[in-house]
Structure 1
Amino acid sequence: MRPELASVRAVSRGEAAGTSYSVYAPQSEDARATVVLIHGVGMNQTVWSPQIGALTTSYRVVVYDMLGHGDSALPTAAPTLEEYASQLKALLDAMHIERAHVVGHSMGALVALEFALRYPQRTLSVVTLNAVYDRTPAQREAVMTRAATLGDVLDAGVDATLSRWFGDPVPGHLTQAAQAVRGLLLSVDPVGYARTYRLFARSDDAHVGRLAGLAVPALFLTGECDPNSSPAMSRAMAAATPSGRAEIIANERHMMNVTDPEGVNERLLAFFAETPAEEAPHESINGERHD
């Protein structure tokens, strides 16, 4: 059975500068670094539940709600990737975390790359899961059409989204995961979703020509069967990055952190182990609550 998306118990939760976050303590006293996980459009921090147990064997883990999602503040009416990267910087500043491994999925992958490019001194490494990069004209037209039709109610587009992410029909063994993701999509703030999705739709070329300046180790990871965040995209990003590599998980689609957490977690841990770590400072955040 695949792990459920129910929230894993955090050692602390809180809000800093309009960002809702959770912190998970490492299980090992030898842990020396922090991993930050950034979700995609329509999700929230709980979508990373399948990663928490594995990653906390060696790392402190921070998850948070992207602008416009979960309990975080809305982005501006016409946001930029810089705004979302600045959200992460403000959170790390509030937590007194100097450097971290930064992992992003889909839209979160764009944010992770933007953060690593703008703040390499704050980034130990960067990992993109199911990232978009330099879409074809047909891919760009399809995503822009979806962005243009977004309204105040998301129900109408949820089934189509699940079909893209899980397959049509959804395979029986993935039904529970797909239903959990459906619940996240239906609970997202429609305004926050629309603003973020429109940015996602137009940002596939945001890092074209810039990855040669990516100064940290980078892993570009996607699923073999993800047509919109394709293996070709991940390989192109890796080829453009000085210390980048691409890895493709066989038979997986867009939500592979949920449908194949073992495969994703294994690759994340192996990649982080190759990157020199440093002592993770203790966080001190106004408004933090302990459970």
Structure 2
Amino acid sequence: MADVIDCEFSVQGDGPPLFLIHGIGAARNTWAKALPILTDHFTVVTYDLRGHGTSPLPEGPFGLDELVADLERVREKTGFKCAHFAGHSLGGMIGPAYALKYPNRVNSLGLLSTAAFRTKEDSAKVWGVVHAMEEKGIPQVLETLTARWFTDEFIATHREVVANRLKQVIGTDPDVFLNVFRIYAGTEMASWLQRVTAPSLVLTGENDGGCNPRLNRLIDQALPNSELFILPKLKHSILLEAGDRVAEHLCRFVADNPVE
């Protein structure tokens, strides 16, 4: 049985509930650019994953099951019986895994910049990043990640945003950061995605290296009720570069797929 941590969360906005799940080494503030739009349409619940932001540190290693259990605890504490869910990167794996375990809780899903159906070469690349961090240290690999996360134009014109994102990573407990990166690298949704029946928006950046359109097309094909959209030119950090556009797509998708 998965252990559970009481994660810190915030509730804001008005409308049907929407839970937002951030990715590796981030926190609930990663949704800041999307929130002004989303809170006009939804009661938005954002939370910090265990060991991230202001949430408590775990006592030892953990897996995807524990992250799903934490999300269920947040849902219980908010009192919402069912909701919309959207997650970015690792969060885009937590959301579908949650929907698989609690299908009656999920009205719709957003799978944002996530990965499945990785080839051996794909897996080798992501595990290569993990091993480089283990050997050299997380700060020493951040420059590589910066280029993977942000477009060159954004790096040039939003230096403070990029710098704050790197500080956020370095400020994350290194054991937790490596733990969640291993979950992201080792999770393969291909064998069970077809059992996730909730209406699902699959969305990624055109130039996202690890969560690229090729993999997201396969995710879209596997899900029984989904829609795929590729954001032109963007890389992995779609929330920081274009959170408003992501929010607009989520609002449109939910409006197009009303709860029966």
Q: 1:136 to 1:75 in 2, by over 3 A?
A: farther
Deviations along 1:80-130, one digit per CA (max 9) or x if unpaired, are 211111110111112211111111000110101101111111111010110
What code does the residue aligned with 2:230 have?
I
TM-score by length of 1: 0.82
Note the alpha carbon deviations across 1:222-271, whole angstroms, 9 max, x for none.
01111110111111111111111211011111001111123212101101
Aligned to 1:20: 8
- Indicate if the aligned counterparts of 2:92 and 2:112 stay in contact, CA closer than 8 A: yes
Q: Deviations over 1:144-165 (max 9, x none)?
A: 1222243595321222211111
Q: Does 1:161 align with 2:145?
A: yes
1:213 Cα deviation (Å)? 1.1
Q: Does 2:177 match 1:177?
A: no
Q: Does 1:67 align with 2:50?
A: yes
Letter in 2 for 1:58: H
- Partners in 1 of 2:26 and 2:36 — Cα distance? 19
Match of 1:38 in 2: 21
Written as runs of structure 1 = structure 2, the 5 A alignment for 1:1-291 is 17-26=5-14, 31=15, 33-75=16-58, 77-151=60-134, 154-167=138-151, 171-203=155-187, 205=188, 207-277=189-259
- 1:11 counterpart residue number: none
Secondary structure of the corresponding residue to residue 133 of structure 2: coil
Number of residue pairs aligned between Structure 1 and Structure 2: 256
Please give the secondary structure, in 2, of the residue aligned with 1:23.
strand
Match of 1:110, as an amino acid?
Answer: M
Which ranges in structure 2 are unaligned for 5 or more consecutive residues?
Answer: none
Larger mean Cα displacement after TM superposition, 232-241 or 65-74: 65-74
Alpha-carbon contact 1:22-1:64 (below 8 Å) kept? yes
Gaps of 5+ in 1: 1-15, 279-291
Look up the equivalent residue of 1:216 and give its one-letter code. A
3-state DSSP class of the match of 1:260? helix
CA contact (8 A) 1:105 1:130 kept: yes
Over 3 Å counting, the alpha-carbon distance change for 1:105 and 1:174 in structure 2 is same
Give the number of the structure whose residues are more often helix, by fraction: 2
Structure 1 contact 177–259 (Cα < 8 Å) conserved: no
Structure-1 separation of matches of 2:23 and 2:158? 19
Contact 2:126 2:210 in 1 (8 A): no
State the 4+ residue runs in structure 1 displaced beyond 6 angstroms: none
User: Separation in 2 of the partners of 1:54 and 1:185?
Assistant: 26
**SS of the residue 1:40 aligns to:** coil
Structure 1 residue 138, shift from structure 2 partner: 2.1
Conserved 8 A contact 2:48-2:55: yes
Shift of 1:45: 0.8
Q: Residue 68 of structure 1 contacts residue 196 of structure 1 at CA under 8 Å; is this kept in 2?
A: no
One-letter amino acid of the counterpart of residue 80, structure 2: I
